[in-house]
Amino acid sequence: MDYHTIIPMLAERLSHLNPYKPGEQPSDRDYIKLNANENPYPPPEAVTEEVSWLLTSSRKKLGLYPDPDSTKLREAIAKHLNQTGGVLASDSAAGELHFEITPDMVYCGNGSDEVLSFLYYAFFDNDAPLITPEFSYSFYPVYAGFYNIQLRKVPLKSDFSLDVEGMLKDAESSTGMLFANPNAPTGIALSRAEIRGMLERFPKDKVFVVDEAYADFGKESVLPLLSDFPNLVVVRTFSKSLSFAGMRMGYIVAAPELIRAVTTVKNSVNHFPADIICQTAAAAACSHTTYYRGTTVSIVTTREEFRDSLINAGWEVLPSQTNFVFARKAGKTGREVYEAVKAKGILIRHFDVPGISDFVRITIGTPEQMEMLLSAMEEI
Ligand code: PMP
């Protein structure tokens, strides 16, 4: 839309923005929502009890500013990561973390979307390209537009995995590296050994960002690499595995010096990115690892069962280490599949983008929801 013809005093830069389009939230009827990689299970009751206590017995606190640095929450996150190793679905991940993550290695923000935006501002310059996969989280190009940073988009390999060699090509002349692992919307992950290999060959004076939004549903985290690579920045979120999409809490784990740089950006934009309710609830969530291991393992089990059923029904389904699968059926476009299941009251996601337009991205819900989706998809 050309705003300037209607409102001439607007800044010119507004017309160049190409904002992110999130999964739709229609209100015309009740849908089963499998389109935004939300968690079908609620946070544990202990978290909501903590919030109720804040809203009742301690409600005077609502009139005071929250801790700008989320100190208690950063301590809770560090403890949670040391306990889980960054992968709720794996019992062995904690043993792979051979050093302690300390609170000064953690930065908290208003969802990982905001955290990512501050990373762009802090570390990426506009005189050199940022390396990122051609298909990854669709907010990355939006920020590139916002901050006027060029992208070097590296095509995925024919099996939709990341092209490691392609990503490293001409890394010297880049401003940094950014990708999601496991990647979205494919669900495919590189191993930690592969990412270690990339970091060994990547310039040490540039930031290498791994977005681990979905790592809790996978096999490995890159957190253990932080001790060897001070230029590694790991972005994580409470939205997916911790059932917090409505609360907005994302964080970074990195060397304390890098955390201080992002904190400087935060303190130049919004001193208080996390409100007191979110800080309190998120800190409480961190001490309920057993509950979250249970919900995460259930989602992983449902994912594998759903994937097998779809494959048996003639679909191609990429291997996933996330809470979603990326699937296609020969002869159908993603939009056709999306429309067919929407008519049955189920929302999934499709991307009208050449290269992936025949796929749909399906969030893993409860076993009952996936059964309903399967019968809707059987008729396609
Ligand atoms: N990174 C990736 C790869 C994602 O898929 C998402 C969720 N859409 C985010 C970051 C943002 O998550 P949030 O802002 O809810 O923390």
Q: What angle is formed at CA 326 by the lines to CA 321 and CA 329, rounded to 5 degrees?
A: 145
Q: Which residue has the higher pLDDT, 58 or 240?
A: 240
**From the CA of 112, how far away is ligand 1's center (Å)?**
6
| pLDDT tens profile 80-118 | 999 999 999 999 999 999 999 999 999 999 999 999 999
Q: How many CA atoms lie within 13 A of 81 on its CB side?
A: 32
Ligand 1 pocket (Cβ < 6 Å) reads 37, 111-113, 137, 180, 184, 211, 213, 237, 239, 245, 250
> What architecture is the 45-289 domain classified under in CATH?
3-Layer(aba) Sandwich (3.40)
pLDDT at 2 over 70: no
pLDDT at 318 over 70: yes
8 Å CB contact between 225 and 210: no
- Residue 25, number of CB atoms within 10 A of its CB: 10
Query: Closest ligand 1 atom, CA of 112?
Result: 16
**From the CA of 379, how far away is ligand 1's center (Å)?**
32
CA distance 300 to 88: 10
* 102-129 residues labelled b (16+ CB within 10 A) or e (exposed): ebebbbbbbbbbbbbbbbbbbbbeeebb
Query: Closest ligand 1 atom, CA of 113?
Result: 14
pLDDT range class, residue 246, cuts 50, 70, 90: very high
Lookup: tokens for 187: 């669900």
| pLDDT tens profile 295-316 | 999 999 999 999 999 999 999 9
8 Å CB contact between 160 and 318: yes
The pLDDT score that the predictor gives to residue 379 is 83
CA distance 179 to 135: 9
Pocket test for ligand 1, best of 34, 77, 118, 237 (most atoms within 8 A of CB): 237
**From the CA of 331, how far away is ligand 1's center (Å)?**
31
pLDDT range class, residue 3, cuts 50, 70, 90: low
**From the CA of 234, how far away is ligand 1's center (Å)?**
13
Instruction: Give me the residue spans of the domains in the chain.
Output: 3-42+290-378, 45-289
Query: Closest ligand 1 atom, CA of 249?
Result: 16
8 Å CB contact between 199 and 232: yes
Closest CA to ligand 1's atom 1: 213
What number is the average pLDDT over the span 171-176? 98
Query: Closest ligand 1 atom, CA of 136?
Result: 3
CA distance 82 to 61: 30
Closest CA to ligand 1's atom 12: 112
The residues facing 237 across adjacent strands are: 250
Q: What angle is formed at CA 159 by the lines to CA 154 and CA 164, rounded to 5 degrees?
A: 40
**Strand ordering across the sheet containing 130-133:** 106-109, 250-253, 232-237, 207-211, 176-180, 130-133, 151-154
CATH topology of domain 3-42+290-378: Aspartate Aminotransferase, domain 1 (3.90.1150)
Query: Closest ligand 1 atom, CA of 245?
Result: 15
CA distance 337 to 331: 11
pLDDT at 320 over 80: yes
DSSP 76-94: HHHHHHHHHTT-TT-TTHH
The pLDDT score that the predictor gives to residue 18 is 86
8 Å CB contact between 223 and 94: no
The pLDDT score that the predictor gives to residue 27 is 81
- Residue 54, number of CB atoms within 10 A of its CB: 18
Query: Closest ligand 1 atom, CA of 22?
Result: 8
pLDDT at 29 over 70: yes
Percent of the chain surpassing pLDDT 70: 99
pLDDT at 12 over 80: yes
pTM above 0.95, yes or no: yes
| pLDDT tens profile 266-280 | 999 999 999 999 999
